[in-house]
Amino acid sequence: MSGFELAGRCREGGKFWGVVLAGGQGVRLRPFVKEAFGLEAPKQFVPFMGRRSMFQHTVDRAAMLVPDQRILTVADVRHDALLRAQLGPRLLDGVLYQPCNRETAAGVMLPLTHILERDPEAVVAFLPSDHFILEETRFMRHIAEAMAGASRLDEGVILLGVRPDGPETEYGWIEPGRPLAMPRPYGLRSVRRFIEKPDREEALRSYRKGCLWNSFVTVARAEALYRLIARRLPVLGRAFSRIRAAAGTQRYDGVLAEEYSALPATNLSRDVFQTAPEAVSLLPLEGVTWSDWGSARRIAQTYAALRRRPPWEAACCAAAI
Question: pLDDT tier at 307 (50, 70, 90 boundaries)?
Answer: confident
DSSP 29: G
Q: How many domains does the chain have?
A: 1
Percent of the chain with pLDDT over 90: 67
Residue 258, domain member (yes or no): yes
d(CA 175, CA 283): 12
pLDDT at 152: 83
- Amino acid, single-letter form, for residue 77: V
Residue 60, domain member (yes or no): yes
pLDDT at 321: 34
pLDDT at 88: 78
Q: What are the residues whose beta carbons fall under 8 Å from the beta carbon of 82, sequence distance 6 or more?
A: 41, 42, 45
CA dist 264 → 27, 103, 194, 218, 223 (Å): 19, 9, 22, 22, 22
Q: Is residue 218 exposed (0-12), middle (13-18) or buried (19+ Cβ within 10 Å)?
A: buried
Query: Is residue 212 within 8 Å of residue 176, measured between CB atoms?
Result: yes
CATH number at residue 63: 3.90.550.10
Judged against a pLDDT cut of 80, whether residue 207 lies above it is answered with: yes
Q: What is the pTM of this model?
A: 0.91
Residue 11, domain member (yes or no): yes
**Among 84-93, 169-178, 196-205, 206-215, which is the least confidently predicted range?**
84-93
pLDDT at 13: 43
Structural domain for 293, as ranges = 3-154+216-263+289-320
Judged against a pLDDT cut of 90, whether residue 49 lies above it is answered with: no
Residue 207, domain member (yes or no): no
Q: Between 310 and 45, whose confidence is greater?
A: 45
Query: Is residue 120 within 8 Å of residue 240, measured between CB atoms?
Result: no
pLDDT at 10: 43
d(CA 98, CA 25): 12
**pLDDT tens per residue, range 216-272:** 999 999 999 999 999 999 999 999 999 999 998 999 999 999 999 999 999 999 999
Q: What are the residues whose beta carbons fall under 8 Å from the beta carbon of 112, sequence distance 6 or more?
A: 124, 222, 225, 226, 229, 240
**Among 6-20, 54-68, 120-134, 181-195, which is the least confidently predicted range?**
6-20
Residue 29, domain member (yes or no): yes
CB neighbour burial string for 45-81, b if at least 16 within 10 angstroms, e if fewer = bbbbbeeebbbbbbbebbbbbbeeebbbbbbbeebee
Phi and psi at 147, nearest 5°, equal -65, -40
Kindly state the helix (H) or strand (E) to which residue 82 belongs, with its residue range.
Answer: helix 80-87
* Peptide bond between residue 99 and the one before it cis (omega within 30 degrees of 0): no
Residue 166, domain member (yes or no): no
pLDDT at 36: 83
**pLDDT tens per residue, range 86-138:** 987 776 679 999 999 999 999 999 999 999 999 999 999 999 999 999 999 99
Judged against a pLDDT cut of 50, whether residue 210 lies above it is answered with: yes
Residue 187, domain member (yes or no): no
Query: Is residue 125 within 8 Å of residue 33, measured between CB atoms?
Result: no
Crossing angle of helices 234-246/252-262, nearest 10°? Answer: 170
**pLDDT tens per residue, range 278-298:** 999 999 999 999 999 888 888
pLDDT at 14: 59
d(CA 204, CA 207): 5
Residue 231, domain member (yes or no): yes
Long-range CB pairs of 252-255, under 8 A, 24+ apart, other chains included: none
**pLDDT tens per residue, range 15-39:** 899 999 998 876 788 888 888 888 8
pLDDT at 309: 85
pLDDT at 91: 62
d(CA 277, CA 216): 14
